[in-house]
Amino acid sequence: MTRLHVLKVFVGANGRGGNPLGVFLDGGAFTTEQRQPVATSLNYSETVFVDDTITGRLQIFTPAAELPFAGHPLVGTAWLLNKEGHAIDAVRPPAGVVPVSFDGDTTWIRGRPEWSPSMEFVQYDSPSEINGLTGPPDGIGFAYCWAWEDEPGGRVRARVFVPEHNIFEDEATGSGAVVFAAHIGRAVTVNQGAGSLLMTRLHDDGAVSVGGAVTLTRTRSYTIG
């Protein structure tokens, strides 16, 4: 028996949006072989297994595969570790050391665009076209569909579809925001999905920070099969 924390990450105005995330802070209770089946069964867009709460060493799984780096799982896990009293300044997924920081209600992680999954950016003319999408463009396995809401102000409307990882639509994609901001060469605020809000910052060394608000939805006991 262990404990599962269920979070919403990149929560927008009035509690809207937010990508669900499952986190096991005692990830060592699971064998390597058990982790993917557990993530598949839970069916969150990602599930995190924390192996060391002091160093922040962890693994991230979608319902279909392990990821070396992902934004919303790292933001959510950093927030949870901090909330539980673990004074961390970085988390450590397989991709490398990811610095974290906290600014009021915003949790930030700093990653490298090359750590993000390969994706295709599909630009549309207006946010209304994004709102009207019923699925990913044909033949694209990881589609970041976007349009400017306010180009001078750096505000973007986006929806993201990841059928290659059995995620029809991702509510908030932190790794996508990281590589997207690097792709267009400027910091942006992304309004994604049903109301999620992601903020980005660019750094001189090519890294990109992504941040947002996190809430705890619930905790529950989980029986390890």
The average confidence (pLDDT) of the chain is: 96
Q: Which residue type, as a one-letter code, is found at position 8?
A: K
Question: CA 208, CA 113: separation in Å to the nearest integer?
Answer: 7
Q: Which two tokens stand for residue 70?
A: 């992902």
pLDDT, residue 167, reads 86
Taking each helix axis as running N to C, give the angle between helix 71-83 and helix 174-184, from 0 to 180 degrees, rounded to the nearest 10. Answer: 120
The full length of the chain comes to 225
H/E stretch holding 216 reads strand 208-222
Q: Choose between 180 and 136: higher pLDDT.
A: 180
- Residue range 130-168, pLDDT digits in tens: 999 999 988 899 999 999 999 999 999 999 999 888 888
Question: CA 72, CA 151: separation in Å to the nearest integer?
Answer: 24
- Residue range 67-125, pLDDT digits in tens: 999 999 999 999 999 999 998 999 999 999 999 999 999 999 999 999 998 999 999 99
DSSP 137: P
Q: Domains plus CATH for the chain?
A: 2-100+213-222 (3.10.310.10), 115-210 (3.10.310.10)
Cβ neighbourhood burial of 128 (10 Å; 0-12, 13-18, 19+): exposed
Number of other residues whose CB lies within 10 A of the CB of residue 131: 11
